[in-house]
Copies of this chain bind each other. A is one copy, B any other.
Amino acid sequence: MALNDVLAIYKALSDETRLKILKLLENGELCVCDLVAAFNTVQPKISFHLSILKETGLIKDRKEGKWSYYSLNDNNLFKRFLLLSTFEQIDDTEIELEKQRLAKFIEEKKTKKMVELCKCLK
């Protein structure tokens, strides 16, 4: 890996929102709207940070219908080490708020799905 690649990875890691996104992805893939809800912010902001993380290969994406799902991409030993040791450093309480909002949003999505299902059954 060249100096520029290492540099790009550290730049990607040196932003609060991006570190938190990575930590949220620790528990599995999330779509853009999940993250928008978790951070209680606007969608282009999240897309911007996701694109930077994706460019450096720290995360990967997968399209399904209207949705883009993002997940950790630790196929490289250096990146895997970085992610693991970073997660180890950061206490879970530091993303408590985001986790709460995320959980609430996912719960709401489930409820909405249920409601739709009920409509169909009528």
Which of B3, B13, B91, B94 touches A10 (beta carbons < 8 Å)? B13
A90 touches B3 (CB 8 A): yes
Give Cα A89 to B15, complex, Å.
Answer: 22
- Number of identical monomers bound together in the oligomeric complex: 2
Give Cα A18 to B79, complex, Å.
Answer: 20
- Most chain B C-beta atoms within 10 Å of own C-beta, residue among A14, A82, A89, A90: A14
B2 touches A94 (CB 8 A): yes
A: number of interface residues (CB 8 Å)? 24
- B residues near A19, Cβ cutoff 8 Å: 3, 6-7, 10
A120 at the interface (CB under 8 A from B): no
Cβ contacts A12-48/B at 8 Å (1 or 0 each): 0111100110000000000000000000000000000
Given A10-B10, A14-B11; A2-B91 close (CB under 8 Å): yes
A85 at the interface (CB under 8 A from B): yes
A67 at the interface (CB under 8 A from B): no
User: Taking beta carbons and an 8 Å cutoff, which residues of A are in contact with B?
Assistant: 1-3, 5-7, 10-11, 13-16, 19-20, 78, 81-82, 85-86, 88-91, 94
